[in-house]
Chain A
Amino acid sequence: MHIPDGVLPVWLWILGFVIMAFAVVFCLFRLKSVDLRKYVPLLGAVSAAMLVAMSLEILPIAYHINLSVVAGILLGPALGFLAAFITNLILALMGHGGITVIGLNTLLLGSEAVLGHTLFYLFKKRPPVFWRAAGATVLTLFITSLALIGIVAVSHINAEFLLHGDEHGSVQGGDVTVSRFAVMVLSLGIVGWIIEAFITGAVVRFISQVKPDLLVHMLHKEKVGRSKGNVK
């Protein structure tokens, strides 16, 4: 779900931009030993695939799949986060999501890529690849939905304050309204998580059957290379 402009308080979306900028710099720092020129076409291909997936809206719940977990699995956490930034920027340019909240939207989508990658590789090779990817997706989307609720919880202001500027009313009724928002997001979201988990699982299984080398991420290749180097 993409947060539009004008909804969240100024301090929150500015903080979102600052944290996103630090995260992007950290990702670029993590990738400094990698020849990034090689990954520009791959980054573009996966980001474009995410945009195509987002254009397939599932009626009647107005949910669209993100493929952010697939991006994380294929690209790794750092490049996956950069793909999330590019996707969000292009989405904002098309009016799908706000300009001011590119930071927060990128943090949400980027954390899906990072978490998805981490959980997929944490599951090791015990369950079949479909269930590893699907399980990682459900857990990831649950956590990022909680993060979305957290963002709304810290941003929540009283309706009276918003309309009339009554600062004394600014903290009243916050818990009730946040819990209402949480119920709405989680109840609408659970259908979406299951659909996304099924599609992510099937996509990753398809890739593992057709082009399994795509699932051997460069981070793990590097680790293998290093351990081989140590043995020598």
Chain B
Amino acid sequence: MIDVARIDHWAASGFGPLHRASIVSKIIFLLLVVSAAVITRNPYPLMIGYGVLLVVAAAAGLPWVRVAVLSWYGALFALLYGISLGGGIWIAVLFIVKAITPSLAMLMLIVSTPYPRIFSLLSVFLPEILAAGLFMTYRTLFILLDMMDNFAAAIRLRGGFSPGSLYKNSTNISRGIGMLLVRAVERASRLYAVMVVRGYNGSMAEKGEIRLQSHDWLPLGTGAFVLLLVLVWK
């Protein structure tokens, strides 16, 4: 389950050094870690890099255990790909660390940066429709997750979930998703009407500023360390 509400809470409520760093420095940090994962052929430096990222996340007051668990999401595809290459356990381990290390860096960025700041930066590079779509998607996501929770509670109370009956459960889930879509579209139409009344002209996202600041030493230093580790320990 993508716990968007919790991620948003962590991003908005933290006061650690990573929260104080600029969005640009955290994007550079992410790019450095991704570069390290792309160029390495040795799992050891990346394993150490992953450990360093966890230590930094813990020291910066981020929910490092949760973030570490979430970072393993991409491991399944990496494992399948590694096994299919036929290089044994070693190649599978290499692909898993290649997958989870950038994922951890990405999660460190998202749990320490409120989404409007990230989307504002992205809106510098993206067409207006996509920037506005990103904002609208993120906003609607919370509403839909809330509606889905209410739907799940209602269906449980009415005995709609039957363990062992895949057909009945799938039918109920499908109706729930259908209802969710219809209501989401209705809400979207109403929202559009409200936005037009309030002067919406196709632009929603404020363009972000690209500027470094004094708190940026931690993400920049961490990213550079992981990349150097990979470059030196080949």
Which residues of A are at the interface with B, using a C-beta cutoff of 8 A? 1-7, 10, 24, 28, 31, 36-38, 40-49, 51-57, 62, 67, 70, 74, 82-83, 85-87, 89-90, 92-100, 152, 156-160, 162-165, 173, 176-178, 180-181, 184-185, 195, 198-199, 201-207, 210-211, 214
CB atoms of B170 and A198 under 8 A apart: yes
Q: B175 and A202: CB pair below 8 A?
A: yes
- One of A24, A86, A95 near B134 (C-beta < 8 A): A86
The chain B residue with its CB closest to the CB of A164 is: B41
Task: Report yes or no: B178 in contact with A206, Cβ–Cβ below 8 A.
Answer: yes
Complex CA distance for A206 and B86, rounded to whole angstroms? 46
Asked whether B71 lies within 8 Å of A95 as measured between CB atoms, the reply is yes
Q: How large is the interface on B (under 10, 10 to 19, 20 to 34, 35 or more residues)?
A: 35 or more
Interface string of B193-231 (1 = CB under 8 A from A): 001000011101000000000000000000000000000
CB closest residue in chain B, given A199: B174
Q: Is the CB of A55 within 8 A of B1?
A: yes
B184 adjacent to A45 (CB under 8 Å): yes
Q: Which of B70, B84, B129 meets A152, CB within 8 Å?
A: B84
Tell me the smallest distance from the CB of B67 to a CB of chain A, in Å: 8
The majority secondary structure among interface residues of chain B is helix
Q: Which residues of A contact B140 (CB under 8 A)?
A: 41, 44-45, 47-48
List, in ascending order, chain A residues with CB within 8 A of B2's CB: 51, 54-55, 94, 96
A74 pairs with B181, CB closer than 8 A: yes
Q: Nearest Cβ distance between residue A173 and chain B, in whole angstroms?
A: 6
Q: Which residues of A contact B34 (CB under 8 A)?
A: 5-6, 98-100
A44's nearest neighbour on chain B, judged by CB, is B136
Decide if A49 touches B132 in the complex (CB within 8 Å).
no
Residues of B within 8 A of A87 (CB): 137
Residue B18 lies at the interface, judged by CB distance under 8 Å to chain A:
no
Q: Does B85 contact A (CB under 8 A)?
A: yes
Which chain B residues lie closer than 8 Å to A92 at the CB level? 106
Q: Can you name the residue of chain A whose Cβ is closest to the Cβ of B194? A: A41
Report the minimal beta-carbon distance from A96 to chain B, rounded to whole angstroms: 5
Supply 8 further A-B pairs (C-beta < 8 A) apart from A86-B134, A90-B138.
Answer: A41-B140, A51-B2, A52-B141, A94-B70, A94-B107, A98-B34, A152-B81, A162-B85
Among B37, B99, B135, B177, the most chain A Cβ lie within 10 Å of the Cβ of B177
> Would A163 and B178 be within 8 Å (CB), given that A43-B133, A52-B148 are in contact?
no
Most buried by B among A6, A67, A97: A6
Q: How far is the CB of B93 from chain A (nearest CB, A)?
A: 11
Question: How far, in angstroms, from A178 to B13 measured CA to CA in the complex?
Answer: 46
Contacts of B192 in A (CB 8 A): 37-38, 40-42
The chain B residues found within 8 Å of chain A, CB to CB, are 1-2, 4, 7, 30, 34, 37-38, 40-41, 70-71, 73-78, 80-81, 83-88, 90-91, 94-95, 98-104, 106-107, 109-110, 115, 118, 122, 127, 129-130, 132-141, 143-145, 148, 170-171, 173-175, 177-182, 184-185, 187-189, 191-192, 195, 200-202, 204
User: 30 A-B pairs, CB-CB below 8 angstroms?
Assistant: A4-B75, A5-B34, A5-B74, A7-B81, A24-B130, A28-B127, A42-B188, A44-B135, A44-B140, A46-B181, A47-B136, A47-B137, A51-B137, A57-B1, A83-B133, A93-B106, A95-B104, A95-B107, A96-B73, A152-B81, A159-B88, A162-B85, A176-B86, A180-B86, A195-B170, A202-B175, A206-B179, A206-B182, A210-B178, A211-B185
Q: Say yes or no: A203 contacts B178, CB within 8 Å.
A: yes
Whole-angstrom distance between the Cβ of A3 and the nearest chain B Cβ: 6
Residues of A within 8 A of B182 (CB): 206-207, 210-211, 214
User: Known interface pairs A5-B99, A41-B195, A51-B2. Does A214 touch B81 (Cβ–Cβ under 8 Å)?
Assistant: no
A89 to B99, CA, bound (A): 17
- Set of chain A residues within 8 Å of B38, measured between Cβ atoms: 5-6, 10, 100
Q: State in angstroms the CA–CA spacing of A44 and B190 once bound together.
A: 13
Q: Is the CB of B98 within 8 A of A4?
A: yes
Q: How far is the CA of A24 from the CA of B125 in the complex (A)?
A: 13
Interface contact A49-B144, CB-CB below 8 Å: yes
Q: Do residues B173 and A56 form an inter-chain contact, with CB atoms below 8 A?
A: yes
- Interface contact B77-A207, CB-CB below 8 Å: no
Residues from chain B with Cβ under 8 Å of A203 in the complex: 174, 177-178, 181
Q: How far is the CA of A85 from the CA of B134 in the complex (A)?
A: 10
Q: How far is the CA of A100 from the CA of B173 in the complex (A)?
A: 33
